Amino acid sequence: MRWGLMGAGHGGRGGGLFGIGETIAKTIKDDIGVRFADVAGCEEAKLEITEFVNSLKNSKQYQDLGAKIPKGPLLTGPPGTGKTLLPKAIVGEAGVPFITMNGSEFLEMFVGVGPAWVHDMFAVARKNAPCILFVDEIDAIGQKRGCRHFGGRSERNTLNQLLVEMDGFNSTTNVIVLASTNRPHVLDPALMRPGRFDHQIYTGPPDIKGKSSIFRVHLRPLKLDESLSKDALARKLAALTPGFTGADISNVCNETTLIATHHLNPCVGEKHFEQAIQRVIGGLEKKTQVLQPCEKMMVVYHEAGHEVVGWFLEHADSLLKVSIVPRGKGLSYAQCLPRE
């Protein structure tokens, strides 16, 4: 997607003083309500992660064969591609407690308490075994030691405590430790060695088939116009949303319902989806910014010039749509269809 003129491309906090002295990790024991059927667009990742579900469901079978139950994988990939949703689906499939914490929460309040919170979080996991322990955005505490961009002694001590706790889990502990990051290159090598996060699962942006699957998931609860077929609509919307992630698609479907509600429509129609896609790509339409005829002509020539040149370039992506309606920070935008 290219911009035109003027464009710009629950748990409590413990019972001690100020919440110190007890873990701030969230522990969810009830049914989390997410299954693998609710996760689409990352079929390879789901297939890889099934191994960890089986190890929780059939731990005795693994142990009888002498297998070491894996600690858990590191989920990597761009934002919005399902790194946080997949652990919830594992919990839903395995039917075990879910203990979760964001990496930045270890460092957010008082200097020096991070290691204690790491210790307490793992203690809670042992108490609730079998369970899944998930550290989201682990790069907040797991960056390479000695890196000039990585905090001070408190951050290093927190990372060291995390390494110690992971080494303290053996194959009979029956706790799967998962983590996610969109910056695996900044992680300390000690985190990636065998016995820790030695198994990486990449969740990338979905292709057009994956986007169609994601749209079908998010179309389920919507009250669609009777003339619309969910499968056909999902395929069309997937073609209209090049480069979108699962989070973007979820946002589009939510915006669609808001637009339909705003216009007092009894159901969601295809035009509402088109308006929602434009809103997610370019922002709200700026109805107060009225271009003079000469300004509008300049914008038209600008966009037309780009597209004419692109037409003659062998490797340029196919043009999907051009708009000169001012949205967000731009006066126009062009949307192309990558070769997926």
Alpha helices per DSSP H over the chain: 43-57, 59-64, 85-94, 114-127, 153-168, 189-192, 208-219, 230-239, 246-262, 270-282, 293-312
Nearest to residue 141, comparing CAs of 117, 124, 123, 120?
117
SS3 322: strand
Phi, psi of 274 (to 5 degrees): -65, -40
What is the spatial distance between Cα 41 and Cα 50, in angstroms, rounded to a whole number?
16
What type of residue sits at position 186?
V
Just list the catalytic residues. Answer: 303
Q: Which helix (H) or strand (E) holds 288?
A: none
What is the spatial distance between Cα 12 and Cα 20, in angstroms, rounded to a whole number?
11
C-alpha separations of 30 from 48, 217, 294 in Å: 25, 23, 62
Here the contacts of 25-29 (C-beta below 8 Å, separation 24 or greater) are: 25/99, 25/100, 25/101, 25/117, 25/120, 25/121, 25/124, 26/99, 26/100, 26/101, 27/97, 27/98, 27/99, 27/124, 27/128, 28/91, 28/97, 28/98, 28/99, 28/100, 29/97, 29/98, 29/128
Residue 76 pairs in a beta bridge with 181, 202
What is the spatial distance between Cα 48 and Cα 13, in angstroms, rounded to a whole number?
35
Q: Which two tokens stand for residue 58?
A: 């059939």
